Amino acid sequence: MSLAEGTAPGRMDRGAAGGDDAEMARFDEIMAADGRIEPTDWMPDAYRRALVRQISQHAHSEIIGMQPEGNWIGRAPSLKRKAILMAKVQDEAGHGLYLYSAAQTLGTDRDTMFEQLITGKARYSSIFNYFTPTWADMGSIGWLVDGAAICNQVPLCRASYGPYGRAMVRICKEESFHQRQGFEILLALMRGTDAQREMAQESVNRWYGPALMMFGPPDADSPNSQQSMAWNIKRFSNDELRQRFVDMLVPQAEVLGITLPDPAIAWNEERQSYDLGDLDWTEFHEVLAGRGQANAERIERRREAHEGGEWVREAARAYARKQAEAADAAEAQVA
């Protein structure tokens, strides 16, 4: 069934959720009116699955994304930079937690999602499988990676699933701070010595392509996108978002005095947008297939952290048990 044939998107798969015609019609109505679906509303299985996949991948990306920057907390060049970087990495942990909570409202528990992440079954953004050898990489990640995340995520504030859209509102506010702090790191380096300017440029050269690939493959090769757009989860195509991102970056690069590593970038008067060159998708697919610089290390470290945290979960469970017992005892006394 193709959407181009005018089929209502929700009608594709009611699946085990069952749902009578009235429920399906109600869902379709909400979609057509660009309304919101809440956790207690009926929804088709395929819609629920698509959301769990997207929200959990997003949550995993926030959590794994703490590692490349966490790497520099102990080596930040000043106390001020260290405090800012720590706050930023903590924000990312918070984003992961809001998003796991949003995914849980769809009926998938957190242990299952953690398990999928540490056994390598779940995906997360490939961008976090690159190493961060220089301090300038903290600038590039903020400016380019958080910058791409904002372009991707601002439209998600209007996602049709309520808990996801609401989580994104707060996340986007924090991502704007992240992008500015990255820009500011690069600006300070570009105003510094020749060696600092070179470090900034070299870092941007490495991160630019992978950041553009964060929007996903070209529209022609992106099978899930059309359905997500019909369900008002995604609002713009991968290529549209990539274009917006480049249009935002070019003037900022000029302020920085940094050259974006794509000689094909040129203003297109007719489109009122910048043209850009082709990306090396072979590398993207290599990283996606688990053969990036840091794929194995990222998962291994997450697994260690998860196992190392078992005592905290055990303590929390014991505390909850004690509280429940105390409440029961108090109730028994009243009775």
User: Least Å distance between CB 139 and Fe ion?
Assistant: 13
Stretch that binds Fe ion, among 44-52, 107-115, 167-175, 242-250 (CB under 5 A): 167-175
Neighbours of 310 (CB within 10 A): 9
Contact indicator for 156, 95 with CB cutoff of 8 Å: no
> How many angstroms separate the CA atoms of 23 and 19, rounded?
6
Q: What is the DSSP letter of 274?
A: E
Residue 302 binds Fe ion (CB under 5 A): no
Nearer CB in complex with Fe ion: 62/137: 62
Closest separation in Å from C-beta 140 to Fe ion: 13
Question: Given candidates 48, 81, 95, 234, which one binds Fe ion under the rule CB under 5 A?
Answer: 95
Q: Which amino acid is at 178?
A: H
Q: Which CB sits closer to Fe ion, 168 or 213?
A: 168
To Fe ion, the closest distance from the beta carbon of 142 in angstroms equals: 8
Question: Between 31 and 66, whose beta carbon lies closer to Fe ion?
Answer: 66
The answer to whether 127 touches 204, Cβ cutoff 8 Å, is no
Least Å distance, CB 147 to Fe ion, is 10
Count of positions on this chain that bind Fe ion (CB under 5 A): 6
Q: Which of 58, 60, 81, 178 binds Fe ion (CB under 5 A)?
A: 178
Residue 38 near residue 162, CB atoms below 8 Å: yes
Phi-psi region of 260 (alpha: psi -120 to 50; beta: other; left: phi over 0): beta
- Are the beta carbons of 146 and 182 closer than 8 angstroms? yes
Binding-site string for Fe ion from residue 143 to residue 162, where x marks contact by CB under 5 A and - marks none: ---x----------------
> Which residues partner with 275 through β-bridges?
266
Residue 92 sits in the site that holds Fe ion (CB under 5 A): yes
Q: How far is residue 68's CA from residue 57's CA, in Å, rounded to a whole number?
A: 17
Which span sits near Fe ion by CB under 5 A: 22-30, 89-97, 232-240, 282-290? Answer: 89-97
Work out how close the CB of 55 gets to Fe ion at its nearest, in angstroms, rounded to a whole number: 13
CB of 82 to Fe ion, least distance (A): 17
Nearest to 150 by CA among 64, 105, 211: 211
- From residue 27 to residue 66, the character string flagging contacts with Fe ion as x (rule: CB under 5 A) and all else as - is -----------------------------------x----
Burial readout 89-121 (b: 16 or more C-beta within 10 A, e: otherwise): bebbeebbebbbebbbbbebeeeebbebbbeee
* Residue 69 interacting with Fe ion (CB under 5 A): no
Binding residues for Fe ion (CB under 5 A): 62, 92, 95, 146, 175, 178
